[in-house]
A and B are shown apart, each in its own frame.
Chain A
Amino acid sequence: MFKILNIFNLLFLVSFAQAQVTKGSLLIKNGTILTVTKGNMENADLLVENGKITKMGKGLVAPAGTQTIDATGKFIMPGIIDAHSHIGIDVVNEASRPSTADVWVGDALDPLDLSVYRALAGGVTASHAMHGSANAVGGECETIKHRYGTLNPEEMRMEGAPRTIKFALGENPMRVHGEGNRIVPATRMGVEQVFRKGFEDAKAYLAAWDLYEKEKVKNPAALKPFYNKRHETMAEILKGNIIIHCHSYRSDEILMLLNVCKDYQIKRLVFQHTNEGFKVAPELAAYGAMASVFADWWAYKFEVYYSTAYNAAILTKNGVVTSINSDSEEYIRHLYHEAAKTQRYGSLSDEEALALITINPAKQLGIDQRVGSLEVGKDADIAIFDGHPLSIYAVPQFTIVDGVVRFNRSKDAADQRLQASATRAETGFFLHKEQHNHDRCLEGAFENTATFFGLERE
C-alpha cells in the first residue's frame, strides 16, 4: 500500500513538472488543403492521430469512432502563429531597470485569459507571449499553444520551444528610463550601450566561472563567483541558446543592433515591429535576421511616421523571412486578414501571404519543425475556414490544437469565460477603440496607467 502511494506521489510530481498535453485524433474530410509549404490539395482528407498529422490525401479512412469533420467547400490551413502578442499572461513589463534579463514571462501564464479563446476564433493556435518594451533588455518570453480550457498554466507552454528574449529599441525604453527616470538610455546612443555593457558583463561573468572551474581542481576551497541570473541569461544568448526578439522601428536602430550582434557573433535575431525594416531589407537578408511586422500600423507615434504598408512585401521580396504579428488581443483575431493586406500593398501571392502568419513566424520562434505548415509528422494545429482565408468574407469555423477542437463556431456560446459564475460578475462595458497611441508592449510600465492611456484626455 505504501509503495502504491509512493508511486502515485511520484506520478503526481512528474505530471506537475511537465503537464500532460491533451491530444486528439480526428479525420477532416474533403476540403481544400493549403499546406503553405507544399502547395494546395483539392478535395483532400487529413488524418490526425494522437495530436499529429499522420496522413494527407484522398479517401482516407479513420478507425471507427474517430471524430470526423466534413470540410466540403472549406479551406484547411495550418494553425495561425502570432510571433508577437501579450495574451495568456497577466503581466507584461518588469520595467524597473534598463535590463531585466533575469525575469521570465513564463512565470506569469494565465490560462483564464479570454483573449486566448478569441484568438482561437481567428484561427490562431500558438502565440509568442512576450515581455514588454519598457526596457532595452526585457525578460524572457514564452511560446504558448492555445489550449484554452486547461486550468493548468504548465499546459499552455509549447513544450520544447526554444527560449526567446525581448529586447527593445527607440522611444519606449528611452521614454521609460531616460525621460521617466533620468537614467540611461534617453537616446538611441544610450540604448546601444545597454546591450554592449550587458554582453561585456556576461563575457566577464563566464570568464569568472571558467576561472573558478579551473581553480577548483587545484583548490577545493576556491571562492565561487556570485550567481547572477541576468548575466546567466545574457551568456545563454552569446552561446546561441536564446533567440533575440527585438522591438524596433527605425532603420538606424535596426542597423545598430545588427552591428552589436555581429560584434558578439550572435546569429539568432528577429526584429519585431520593424516598421522601417523595408529601408534595410538587404542588410537584414544578408545577415539572416528575420522581421515580424504589422500589416499597416503607422503614424500613432513619431518613430512610425515614415512607415509604409508595403513593408512586408518589400522585406519578403528582398529575401527576409517575414511574419505579420498582432501585438494586440484584437488584431490577433484576424491575422489572416492582416496577411491579406499584403496582396493590396505589394501583390504578394497567396502562398507568400499565408507564410507570413504560419511557417515564417514558426521559423522566427524556432518551432518550424513542429508547426507552421500542414505536413505529415507535424503537430495537428489546424484552422478551417468557410472560404479562402485571404478573402474578407472568410470566417474561421474550427480551430484545432494538437488534434483537439478548441474552437467550433457552430458551438460558440456567448460566455466563454472559464470562471464565469454568479460570484464573478460581469466585468463591465469596455468600448474598444483601436487608437494606437501606445503599444500593448508598454502595458504596466507606468504607475499611473490611467494618465498614460489618455483617460484624462477623453
Chain B
Amino acid sequence: MKINVVFTLVFTLALTHSFGQVKKSTKGTFALTNATIETVTKGTVSGTLIISEGKITALGSNVTIPSGANVIDCKGMFIYPGMIDGGTQLGIVEVSSISLTDDSDELGELTPHMEAITAFNTSATAVSVTRVDGITTTLVVPQGGLFPGTASLVNLVGYTPDQIYAGFKGVVLNFPGAGRRGFWDRRTDEELKKEEEKALKQLNDVWTEALYYVQVTDAAAKDPSIKVASNPEMARIAEVIRGKMTLLIETNKSSDIEAAIKWAQDKKVAKVVLTGVAEGWRVADKIAKSGFPVITGPIIALPTRESDNYDKAYANPGIMSKAGVKVAIRTNDQENVRNLPFHAGFAAAYGMSKEDALKSVTIVPAEIFGVADKLGSLEVGKLASIMVTTGDPLEPKTQIKYLFIDGWIVPLDSRHIQLYEEFLNRSPGLKK
C-alpha cells in the first residue's frame, strides 16, 4: 500500500504542469478506484478498473489492485469507453480554406487506392483538441469523386501510421445522387438527372472492369504464365468484391439511399455500410430490411428540405434506430470532431434513447468496423480506451478528468487549453 501511495505521488507530479516540461503520453499499470463504471455493454458497475499492458484486465467491486499500480481515486467520477467518430476528415485537413493544408480530396473520380492514413498528420493541432474531449478513435474518410479512397480507423495517440491504426479500413463510394449542395447550386433538375445517370453508368462500368480484374487475377494465381499489369485502382475494388474489405457507401437523399441499397444487393457486395443517410428517416424500414448498418451525421444540422420539420436531422438517428437499423453517429467534421457527444446528445433529445445514443458513438461503430473485441465498451480484455468524467459525457457541463487511448494515459492538454492557461489572467496584464 505504501508503494501505491508513493507511485500515486510520483504519477501525480508527472501529470502536473510545470515550467518548461513537455507533457507526454505514458503507459503503465493503473487502478481506477471508487468509480462508477459505465460498461455500455454490461450495465453499470461500482468499483475499480485495472489497466495493465494497455488492456483492461479487471473491473468490478471485488478487484485486487496489482502491486506497483498507479492508483487514481475516481470517487464521484464515472468511467466510460472512449468515443468513436464514424466519419471525419480530422488529421487530413488542417485549415480548410487553405487548399494546400487540405489532403482530403485527390484529383480524379477513381482513386480508391488513396490511403487516408498516409496523409494523417498525427501532430495536427486538432488531434489533441479532439481527444481531450474523450474522442479516442476516428474514422478518417477521404472525399470527392466516385471512389475517393480508402478510409482508416485511427486511435488518436501515436506518431506513425502503424501506431495509430485501429484495425479497420474501408473503401469509400460516393453513390451517384441528385442532391443540390446548397442554395448556390443552380443546376437544373435536368442537369442533375443527367449527371446522376452519367455517374451511375460510370460506377457500373468501373464495377464491371473490377469483376474482370478479379477473374483475371484469380486465373493468374493458378497460371503463372498469365501476367497482370499493375492496377492499384482495380486491385482495391477487387478486395471489396472478394469480401475482404468493407464498402462505405455515402448516400443521403431518400431515393438515392433506396437506389444504393438495390445496387449493393444486385452486385452482392459482401460488406456494406451506408454512410451519411441524411434522409434515412424517410426510408427507415427499407434500410432496416436491407440489414445494412448506418453511420449517420452530422446530426446537429438543417433538414434537407425546406418543407421538412425543423428537427428532422436531429430526429433521424432515433427514427432509424426505432425501425431496427444499426445506427452509429459521426460528425463528418474536421476541427470540431470534439462535438461528437453533442451530436449523440441531440439524437437523444429528439427521440433516440439515451442508451442507444451513447452506443452510437461507442460499441455500435466498434461493431460496424469489426473491432468490438478491442474497442467500444469496458470489458476485460479490451484495449484501454477510456475516459474518466464528472458525469454524463453527452452533457456539455461534464468535465473529462483522465484519458486513456489504446492503453496510454494521454495528457489533457491541447492548444486551446494552453491558450486558456496563458490568457485567463494575462501577464503582463493591462499595464506592463
Contact = CB atoms under 8 A, between A and B. Distances in A.
A340 B397 contact: yes
B182 A430 contact: yes
A308 B184 contact: no
B396 interface: yes
A16 interface: no
Interface stretch (B42-50, B233-241, B344-352): B344-352
Given A300-B96, A435-B334, A455-B185, A390 B306 contact: no
Chain A CB count within 10 A is highest, among B180, B308, B348, B420, for B420
Contacts of A391: 395, 397
Given A310-B416, A427-B306, A430-B180, A296 B336 contact: yes
A296 B340 CA distance: 13
Interface string B170-206: 0000000011111111100000000000000000000
A416 interface: yes
B336 A297 contact: yes
B308 A414 contact: yes
B322 to A, nearest CB: 17
Interface in B327-357: 332-336, 338-339, 341-342, 345-346, 348-350, 354
A412 B420 CA distance: 42
Secondary structure of the B contact surface, majority rule = loop
Chain B CB count within 10 A is highest, among A301, A343, A434, for A434
Interface residues of B, number: 70
Interface in B360-409: 394-399
Contacts of B278: 431-432
Contacts of A347: 399
B342 A337 contact: yes
Interface size class of A (residues with CB under 8 A): 35 or more
A414 B397 contact: no
Given A344-B396, A458-B144, A314 B423 contact: yes
A330 B302 contact: yes
Nearest to A298: B335
A340 B396 contact: yes
B144 A457 contact: yes
A301 B338 CA distance: 18
A345 interface: yes
Interface string A257-286: 000000000000000000000110111001
Contacts of B183: 430
A428 B420 CA distance: 43
Given A296-B336, A313-B420, A301 B97 contact: yes
Chain B CB count within 10 A is highest, among A117, A296, A432, for A432
A393 B350 CA distance: 8
B157 interface: no
Contacts of B342: 337, 392
A426 B144 CA distance: 27
Contacts of A394: 349
A434 B345 contact: no
A437 B396 contact: no
A334 interface: yes
A392 B348 contact: yes
Contact of B397 (A310, A390, A413): A390
A314 B345 contact: no
Contacts of A182: none
Nearest to B336: A296
Secondary structure of the A contact surface, majority rule = loop
Nearest to A436: B96
A299 B416 CA distance: 12
Nearest to B343: A392
Given A283-B430, A302-B95, A308-B416, A412 B105 contact: no
A8 interface: no
A190 interface: no
Contacts of B345: 392-393
Given A299-B95, A299-B96, A429-B180, A416 B310 contact: yes
Contact of A118 (B179, B310, B419): B310
B76 interface: no
B32 to A, nearest CB: 22
Interface string A424-453: 001111111111111000000000011001
A314 B416 contact: no
B67 to A, nearest CB: 37
Given A282-B430, A393-B348, A455 B423 contact: no
Given A307-B416, A395-B349, A435-B334, 19 more contacts: A118-B310, A121-B310, A278-B419, A286-B430, A299-B335, A300-B95, A306-B415, A308-B417, A314-B423, A343-B396, A390-B397, A392-B394, A394-B349, A412-B310, A414-B308, A415-B306, A420-B307, A431-B278, A433-B332
16 contacts: A283-B430, A299-B126, A300-B95, A300-B96, A307-B416, A309-B416, A310-B424, A337-B396, A390-B396, A414-B309, A416-B310, A430-B305, A431-B252, A434-B298, A449-B184, A453-B181
Interface of A: 114, 117-118, 121, 278-279, 281-283, 286, 296-302, 305-310, 313-314, 317-318, 329-330, 333-334, 337, 340-341, 343-347, 390-395, 412-417, 420, 426-438, 449-450, 453, 455, 457-458
